[in-house]
């Protein structure tokens, strides 16, 4: 009986190993054959914006490197929720990918109760692409020249100054509220439908300050339509070398960057994930792509595959905590 039991146990173990071996071979075969049809790259924001432009450039290079079409599809609605939910629920076969970023992988988690997807559980990072600091800008005629002067000016006028954003729940709103809270300032939030209208109101002198992505605001500062006070990155930005970082001012501690990456649904075969990570790492090393990101005021975000999930986890925990601490809401 013992021999029979032992034989059965050994047979079961052999079957398990056979299944595992077949699964590994199948995964390898998928990777060798992948991709054999067009890949869909979902951008969960509208066409023409920064996320869309970045996604289309990456998709174009992926098309050339994979020798298979990577087609961008804008899926908008409910902010970035519709497109992000679509990818989270897609078949994890490597044929549906997403351009994600701090906006939908972190801020949605921080601001939306009962979020229909879990960033860390439902997605696999394939590669982080680029990161852009924010710049604190004021209307050109505001009588301040640095962050310390602005803080003093605002504290003398509690509740009188306005800060603009591209809409409720956007990074301009959330980080603006966190920065104001950490400085102890009382300002009135004025949301707009996009950064462009907010800039126009600042040009007209009707909005006082905005914490905005450097790619959207640096051109206005360079021609003196807006006044730049500081940048949010840990190091000074090469495009605006005379502006100190917020930390350098000694007024308050704050650092953050708006980052972007490419994601796949959880469960995508490891061999396919590895192949896509290799392609994205190649794109991040291309001089033309590096120069393109640099011109916009950003930097290439090179994070090794074994650190990508940890980076996402750290960003979620960090900003979810800050949003709760300063009681920022999307209501």
Residue 330 forms part of a structural domain: no
- For position 81, which CATH number holds? 3.40.190.150
Confidence of residue 260 (pLDDT cuts 50, 70, 90): very high
Q: Is the model's pLDDT at 134 over the cut of 80? A: yes
pLDDT level of residue 12 (50, 70, 90 thresholds): very low
CB 306 within 8 A of CB 134: no
CATH number at residue 187: 3.40.190.10
Residue 14 placed within a domain:
no
- 232 with 264, same domain: the answer is no
Specify whether 141 is located in the same domain as 235.
yes
pTM for this structure?
0.85
Q: Which pLDDT does position 77 carry in this prediction?
A: 77
145 and 121 co-located in one domain: no
What token pair was written down for 284?
């991040």
What pLDDT sits at residue 31? 60
Q: Are 226 and 190 members of one domain?
A: yes
Residue 212's pLDDT is what?
92
Question: 212 and 157, same structural domain?
Answer: yes
Domain-located, residue 51: yes
Domain contains 115: yes
- What domain range is 155 assigned to? 133-249
pLDDT at res. 187: 96
Domain boundary among 221, 249, 277: 249
Convert the pLDDT of each residue in 32-85 to its tens digit: 789 999 999 999 988 877 888 899 999 999 999 999 999 999 988 777 889 999
Q: What is the pLDDT of residue 118?
A: 95
Asked if 150 and 244 sit in the same domain, the reply is yes
Query: Percent of the chain scored above 90 by pLDDT?
Result: 77
- Judge if 126 and 76 occupy the same domain: yes
Picking from 186, 216, 249, the residue at the C-terminal end of a domain is 249
Q: How many domains does the chain fold into?
A: 2
Residue with tokens 């966190």: 178
Could you tell me if residue 15 is inside a domain? no
Give the model's pLDDT for residue 16.
46
- Domain contains 8: no
310 and 231 in a common domain: no
pLDDT of residue 80: 86
pLDDT digits (tens, 9 = 90+) for 156-211: 999 999 999 988 889 999 999 999 999 999 999 999 888 889 999 999 999 999 99
Is the domain of 108 the same as that of 141?
Answer: no
Q: Is residue 317 part of a domain?
A: yes
In a domain, 20, yes or no: no
Residues 127 and 261 in one domain: yes
Among 201, 226, 249, residue at a domain's last position? 249
Report residue 2's pLDDT band, with 50, 70 and 90 as the boundaries: very low
Same domain, 52 and 115: yes
Residue 26: the pLDDT is 52
Secondary structure string (H, E, C) spanning the chain: CHHHHHHHHHHHHHHHHHHHHHHHHHHHHHHHHCCCCCEEEEECCCCCCHHHHHHHHHHHHHHHHHCCCEEEEECCCCCCHHHHHHHHCCCCCCCEEEEEEHHHHHHHHHHCCCCCCCHHHHEEEEEEEEEEEEEEEEECCCCCCCHHHHHHHHHCCCCCCEEEECCCCCHHHHHHHHHHHHHCCCCEEEECCCHHHHHHHHHCCCCCEEEEEHHHHHHHHHCCCEEEEEECCCCCCCCCCCCCEHHHHCCCCCCCEEEEEEEEECCCCHHHHHHHHHHHHHHHHCHHHHHHHHHCCCEECCCCHHHHHHHHHHHHHHHHHHHHHCCCCCC
């Amino acid at each position: 009986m013992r021999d029979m039991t032992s034989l059965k146990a050994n047979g079961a173990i052999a079957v398990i190993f056979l299944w595992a071996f077949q699964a590994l071979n199948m995964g390898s075969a998928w990777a060798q054959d992948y991709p054999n049809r067009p890949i869909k790259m979902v951008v969960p924001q509208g066409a023409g914006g920064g996320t869309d432009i970045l996604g289309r450039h990456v998709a174009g290079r992926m098309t050339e490197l994979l020798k298979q079409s990577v087609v961008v599809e804008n899926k908008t609605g409910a902010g970035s929720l519709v497109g992000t939910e679509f990818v989270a629920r897609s078949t994890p076969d490597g044929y549906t990918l997403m351009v994600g970023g701090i906006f939908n992988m972190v801020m949605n988690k921080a601001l939306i109760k009962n979020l229909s997807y879990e960033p860390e559980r439902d997605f696999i990072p394939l590669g982080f692409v680029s990161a852009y600091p924010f710049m604190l800008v004021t209307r050109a005629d505001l009588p301040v020249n640095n962050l310390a002067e602005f803080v003093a000016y605002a504290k003398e006028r509690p509740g009188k100054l306005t800060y603009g954003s591209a809409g409720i729940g956007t990074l301009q709103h959330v980080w603006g509220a966190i920065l104001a809270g950490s400085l102890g300032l009382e300002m009135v939030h004025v949301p707009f439908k996009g950064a462009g209208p907010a800039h126009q109101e600042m040009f007209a002198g009707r909005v006082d300050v905005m914490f905005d992505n450097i790619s959207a605001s640096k051109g206005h500062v360079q021609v003196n339509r807006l006044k730049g006070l500081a940048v949010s990155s840990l190091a000074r930005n090469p495009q605006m070398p005379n502006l100190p970082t917020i930390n350098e001012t000694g007024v308050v501690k704050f650092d953050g960057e708006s980052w972007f990456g490419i994601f796949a649904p959880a469960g995508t075969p490891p061999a396919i994930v590895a192949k896509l990570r290799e392609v994205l790492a190649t794109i991040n090393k291309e001089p033309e792509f590096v120069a393109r990101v640099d011109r916009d005021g950003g930097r290439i975000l090179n994070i090794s595959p074994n650190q990508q999930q940890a980076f996402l986890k750290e960003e979620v925990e960090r900003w979810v905590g800050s949003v709760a601490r300063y009681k920022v809401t999307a209501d």
